[in-house]
Structure 1
């Protein structure tokens, strides 16, 4: 079976955007691939993290995986730092990757900002660790969103250069699994701003730990407009919503996008269904849908967060299984490089 690898950073306060953008896709893919899902705590410390919070956030991501429906018996769930192969292979890739490749990484420029000289070297070589995450398991496919496509292309380049430099056919060339036309999930209070854990208003987002009552309250109080619901004629010939159209009614199109994604339906179908309807009726239907899909998940997350021993046991078991796959691959890679092994 083909193998996928993907991970989520333990940065805390997971919300609807994290679920719709990544985790729900993992759930859908888990039975079609040999699936490895990681909590990438080593990536997290490229920016300073409070140690106590990092441990709590690592458990929170694990709880989110489980509550969303990822089966730890069918898949491997673990945190990155428990498997030494990631760091060992990343060093080899540091020596394979060209500086020019890293200089083109736009995410480093965005995260480092104007004070690039003060950024950690870990943030700079972050893409090499991401390549090691994938290739330590010889993963063939990686589910990616738009923001990670450049890093995946670098991982492909690293695999190809290693094979070329050492005249081997060792690492696979990774194929991306594009996660579809991922709709941006915007604030429930301001449709022009992305949903964010850093927003001061908790009413601006649906947290993955929110129970049914909280989900219902936040949808009911979400900002809307007084106009009737738009129809499918607002979409372009490819079925996409033009950015200029989105800007005209940002709150309306944000909630429509959330509805379509939660139901796993085409936006055109949702617009056709609700064309001309009052927004109050649409919000009632969205509330019922969100409560039924998200409420049980939030309650399960809370239960798991209150049982850290169980969560830790899932991570330990996953790390053992991940080590069993990755260690022989990295040992063979080290022999190819010429390291003298006992």
Structure 2
């Protein structure tokens, strides 16, 4: 029996990814159960959900499975009184020096991609962070009470500080150190009740909660809302060339990631060359077999109709098949996810009117949302 015959799956080309397997059902049920539980808190009604992504290149498969797919699900399933705010956080992008022309191109491409994955400007607020000055203004106010000791213990800062490529303290910039303060301001300026994050961002959200509570205590009243966490149920996708590292847009090896704009041929080539190992068979062992386990993660979370409950069961179901056959199936699964998105992206990315209208409408709505909270903060500290 071939691998294709042994695994029950359904090939679809939907307008948006459709729930077609237990992995997706589990993913979506996880999101919905968190929303239902958190909606019981008094401060969470009506709810405001905020999330952001840096416009530093075309999003990759890891971005989609870990975050962007969840954004569209929240848009489709959240109650009508829930406000959904999604930002292209371009101020965060310049913590590293960017070529101005390249950054402008990335911003346009990122806006096109958010529309291509199915976000609707009439339902979700989609905007460029720099178009709403209140984010930076609140960041400065919060910086005046943020603890340098706490910021110095943030994982991202410690990793960058310890990196030999940083070239010492002279090359480490204030923007990188204060990155979590701007991230907190992004959330707090919209009084977001819930923030979908991956496991690696949970520390930054906890900082936002602490700084909100600290500000409220300092001014003696409840001005800022401490957000609740919506942890993405999807496991993060690892690099195809070095599967102990997370898939990243900044990796110098383009074969390490699958972009949402990659052609079918490129996807097949990248998956075919993905690092695996010389062990026999197929098994899900992230520590011992990170490459094979990463392929199983991608396959499991891709949306194929696989009648198993988890990656371990999937590996057991595929026992006896070759890694070559596994790669062929993973490539097909990814093509089914990426193909429809790529087609919509190609029809949008050169439509300047559509993207301009979406960005303008989003900035206007986000500005209104942010001004409400910022006004209360400025009054609380005596600036107005």
Shorter-chain TM range is 0.7 to 0.9
Confirm whether residue 145 of structure 1 aligns to residue 194 of structure 2.
Answer: no
The answer for the alignment partner of 2:114 in structure 1 is 65
- 1:220-239 aligned at under 5 Å gives the runs 220-224=272-276, 229-230=281-282
TM-aligned CA distance change 1:277 to 1:26, over 3 Å: same
The answer for the alignment partner of 1:320 in structure 2 is 364
Tell whether the 8 Å contact from 2:193 to 2:227 is kept in structure 1 after alignment.
yes
- CA deviation map 1:54-94 (0-9, x unaligned): 11111222222121222221111001000111011111101
**Deviation (angstroms), 1:111:** 2.9
Confirm whether residue 333 of structure 1 aligns to residue 382 of structure 2.
Answer: no
1:2 aligned residue (47, 52, 61): 47
Confirm whether residue 216 of structure 1 aligns to residue 261 of structure 2.
Answer: no
Q: Distance in 2 between matches of 1:183 and 1:121?
A: 28
**Deviation (angstroms), 1:8:** 0.6
TM-aligned CA distance change 1:144 to 1:196, over 3 Å: closer
Q: Distance in 2 between matches of 1:110 and 1:22?
A: 23
- CA deviation map 1:204-240 (0-9, x unaligned): 4311111333323433454555766435xx5xxxxxx
- CA deviation map 1:94-120 (0-9, x unaligned): 112122222222212323445223322
Moved more, 213-222 or 33-42: 213-222
Tell whether the 8 Å contact from 1:227 to 1:279 is kept in structure 2 after alignment.
no
TM-aligned CA distance change 1:192 to 1:141, over 3 Å: closer
Confirm whether residue 180 of structure 1 aligns to residue 233 of structure 2.
Answer: yes
TM-aligned CA distance change 1:295 to 1:96, over 3 Å: same
1:86 aligned residue (131, 135, 144): 135
Moved more, 143-152 or 216-225: 216-225
TM-aligned CA distance change 1:201 to 1:332, over 3 Å: closer
Partner secondary structure for residue 36 of structure 1: strand
Provide structure 1 residue ranges, at least 5 long, that are not aligned to the other structure.
Answer: 235-244
**Deviation (angstroms), 1:4:** 1.1
Q: How many pairs were matched up?
A: 327
**Deviation (angstroms), 1:324:** 1.3
Q: Distance in 2 between matches of 1:199 and 1:326?
A: 34
**Deviation (angstroms), 1:259:** 0.3
TM-aligned CA distance change 1:250 to 1:339, over 3 Å: closer
Q: Distance in 1 between matches of 2:355 and 2:151?
A: 36
TM-score (norm 2): 0.78
Tell whether the 8 Å contact from 1:9 to 1:44 is kept in structure 2 after alignment.
yes
Moved more, 170-179 or 268-277: 268-277
Q: Distance in 1 between matches of 2:340 and 2:274?
A: 21
Which structure carries more relative contact order (alpha carbon 8 Å, separation 6+)? 2
Computed over aligned residues only, the root mean square deviation of the Cα atoms, in angstroms, reads: 2.3
Provide structure 2 residue ranges, at least 5 long, that are not aligned to the other structure.
Answer: 1-45
Partner secondary structure for residue 144 of structure 2: helix
**Deviation (angstroms), 1:330:** 0.7
- CA deviation map 1:172-231 (0-9, x unaligned): 2211111125233221x4545543445555444311111333323433454555766435
TM-score (norm 1): 0.87
TM-aligned CA distance change 1:183 to 1:45, over 3 Å: closer
The answer for the alignment partner of 1:246 in structure 2 is 286
Tell whether the 8 Å contact from 1:215 to 1:294 is kept in structure 2 after alignment.
no
Partner secondary structure for residue 286 of structure 2: helix
